[in-house]
Amino acid sequence: MIHSERIAAPAPVPTGTGGGYRPGYEVAAERVLEYIVREGLQPGDRLPTEKDLAEEVEMSRTVVREAVKILSALGRLSVQKGRGIYVSEPEQSSWQQSLANFLPADLRQVDELFEFRRHLETTTANLASQRATPAQVKTVREAAQQSTQAAQQGDIDAFTLADEAFHAGIAAAASNMFFASTVDAMRRLQRQVTTIGLAGIAGGSLRVAAEQHEAIAVAIAAGETARAEALMAEHIDMTAQQFQQEIWRRVVPGDDPRA
């Protein structure tokens, strides 16, 4: 019967120093998620048995069982009868689905991509200028220098790698995992545009972009938030214009209304 499977809510446990209380299953659920991160478990990986998991999070088996039920209902865990407890495969959100529908040669969608990148990366540049550690500043400046060297040599592949490292370094220096993961997703879409929609970028454009990288890196190192943000906006706008013009040229050769 359904009623026989129900587990009474465990007694609340104290948390913090202010005398507040949280139900035990909430604490257990939090500790289970912390365990998954600590152990580096990925979607599809198996967790220990309830008994062993209870020992790992230092809570009772009854409370952990209730926590597992909650995490399963939230889609974080998958309980497979007779097989065990697994980290769930994430369901594709509507936002992720929109990325799957991205068309690299569609000028309207490319416009939308760069419009979003502009807002996203001006913010990361602003935050990086406030939060970057010395090591992170060094990473950004080295990536900018590498892009300059690649531009001088006309090496598009080397420039692309340096460009990836530069933008990823700024995103990491913003110290916000949501910004970092979103910048990575947007960069992956831009790679699709480059690979599928475009053949390459002119050497002169590489040199200008590298100069912009250097200037942004200097602003971040100096903690100049407004300047870092403005320079990043200029950089994204220039890149967007290059992509737009090249895509338009291929769609309607000899007729570019944006020129």
Give me 26's structure tokens: 């909430």
Q: What pLDDT does 147 receive?
A: 96
pLDDT tens digits for 44-100? Answer: 999 999 999 999 999 999 999 999 999 998 888 999 988 999 998 866 666 666 676
Residues 6+ apart with CB under 8 A from 185: 99
Domains and CATH numbers, the chain: 2-87 (1.10.10.10), 94-251 (1.20.120.530)
Q: What pLDDT does 162 receive?
A: 95
Alpha-carbon distance of 217 to 222, in angstroms, equals 9
Q: What is the full DSSP assignment across 198-241?
A: -S---HHHHHHHHHHHHHHHHHHHHT-HHHHHHHHHHHHHHHHH
Q: What's the burial of 89, exposed, middle or buried (CB within 10 Å: 0-12/13-18/19+)?
A: exposed
Q: What is the pLDDT along the chain (259 residues), one digit of tens a residue?
A: 333 333 333 444 444 434 456 788 888 998 999 999 899 998 899 999 999 999 999 999 999 999 999 999 888 899 998 899 999 886 666 666 667 678 777 788 889 999 999 999 999 999 999 999 999 999 999 999 999 999 999 898 899 899 999 999 999 999 999 999 999 889 888 887 776 655 555 545 889 999 999 999 999 999 999 999 999 999 999 988 888 777 777 655 555 444 4
Contact status, residue 91 vs residue 75, Cβ threshold 8 Å? yes
Helix (H) or strand (E) holding 78: strand 77-80
Q: Please count the other Cβ atoms lying within 10 Å of the Cβ belonging to residue 199.
A: 9
For the CA atoms of the chain, what is the radius of gyration?
A: 24
pTM: 0.71
Q: What pLDDT does 14 receive?
A: 45
Q: What pLDDT does 19 receive?
A: 45
Residues 6+ apart with CB under 8 A from 19: none
Alpha-carbon distance of 168 to 162, in angstroms, equals 10
